Amino acid sequence: MKRRLYKGTDYRRAHSIDELREVARRRVPNFCFEYVEGGSDDEVTLKRNRSVFEEIGFVPRTLVDVSARSQAIDLFGKPSAAPFMIGPTGFSGLLTREGDLALARAAAFAGIPYILSNASTMRLEDVVRRAGGRVWMQLYLYRTRDYAARLVDRMKAVGVEALVVTTDSAIFGNREWDRRNYARPLKLDLRNTIDVMLHPRWIFDVLVPHGVPRFANLGDMLPPGQDSVQGAASAISKELDPSLNWSDIRWLRDIWPGKLIVKGVMCAEDAVTAVNTGADGIVLSNHGGRQLDGAVSSMEILPEVAAAVGGRLTVMLDGGFRRGSDIVKARALGADAVLLGRATTYGLAAGGEAGVAHAINLLKTEVDRVVGLLGCSDLSQLDAGYIRWPGHPEVSGNSAPRFEEKKRVTLAPVRRFPAETPLEKEVLS
């Protein structure tokens, strides 16, 4: 019998993130899925983000007692239940009603941070109040710097822990496959219009009765009444600032007292500059393959960056993570944590909040299994000695460097992850 992934619409039957992706594809209109899925130009970087993990092999230890395991980590001095978090994904309300809140609630229940997108469809204050947990906020530095200052004030008022400034979008990438769904800007072509009509569940979840979701955290920058998709697209295109540079990060450091994270770093030199600018953390990121096509993956530059700045700031990364084994490889090569983008977004599109919880549970279970099979009782034991990456200048053969072990933290007792989390059962009941 031919092997095949599950092709239905019940997210609970998905055994992997790839299967959740297929469920998501069926449950939302094509233009929504393409918005999530697509990359720039020929999508070379998009593919590279995934293929790089196949080059990296594990070197497990044997006859090690792994009867008690934990994947809990310390992140900015606070415990986190897993070595990953949900990164910022814009316009989540297009996938399900109050999508930003669904992501935040699932993250809070799982004990991991959530980063609210600058392009969210729910206000920061509402997400923090209704979700609880560790809500961080993403910021794009537009030409209107006063907008950033006002958003920082709002973050202070609700006690946001960390500000994540995205630096790789001063110029928009060329996402051709996304644009092909439209007859003209923001007007779906006939094929996609018909496809929307074939998704009544999505229509009554997202469009009825309020219409297309609006951007809720860009209101301080947009002209009055222009927070719709059409109005915002025109305004934002004029607000992109190609002159963005490190002096802008220093300005942000001066007005923001909390944790400052620079997202979009892709070389060791910039990572060192981030340290010197006062950043508390960085995210190695090529924007999910949606900006510069042909860029290297964040995993490829992780060992070099970790060697250059490890211990001086928190090193995180995103790009192509679909398996717990991917996350463990990143930890072994020096990352403190991983940001998830499409992986949890597939869960959101496939099953709302419970679908996100299912995606998190799948990855937690996989991380737990991989760590045990490697012969580790907790993640702090991992280093590059557990990795072989032939051909990589920093990690190859028996000369693989062993990075300094992270400071040990108090770890939570091992948890077993059932097929359905309590959150899933609560939502389904």
Which residues sit in the known binding site for FMN?
88-90, 117, 138, 166, 285, 318-322, 341-342
Q: Which amino acid is at 321?
A: F
φ, ψ of residue 381 to 5 degrees: the values are -80, -15
Tell me if 274 sits within 8 A of 265, measured CB to CB: yes
Cα(288)–Cα(375) distance, integer angstroms: 31
Tell me if 220 sits within 8 A of 150, measured CB to CB: yes
φ, ψ of residue 347 to 5 degrees: the values are -60, -40
β-pairing, 78-80 vs 73-75, is antiparallel
Which structure tokens are listed for 305?
A: 């960056």
Please tell me the number of Cα atoms within 13 Å of 115 on its side-chain side: 28
Cα(51)–Cα(412) distance, integer angstroms: 33
φ, ψ of residue 75 to 5 degrees: the values are -130, 110
184, 189, 192, 197: CA torsion to nearest 10: 110
Binding residues for glyoxylate: 35, 140, 175, 263, 287, 290
Binding residues: 35, 88-90, 117, 138, 140, 166, 175, 263, 285, 287, 290, 318-322, 341-342
**Beta carbons within 8 Å of 369's beta carbon, 6+ residues apart:** 324
Which uninterrupted H or E stretch holds 151? helix 145-158
Q: Which amino acid is at 65?
A: D
**Beta carbons within 8 Å of 105's beta carbon, 6+ residues apart:** 130, 131, 132, 133, 353
Task: For residue 8, give Cα distances in angstroms to 4, 144, 276, 277, 378.
Answer: 12, 46, 51, 49, 36
Cα(375)–Cα(373) distance, integer angstroms: 5
Location of structure tokens 């959150």: 423
What number of residues does the chain have? 429
What are the catalytic residues? 287
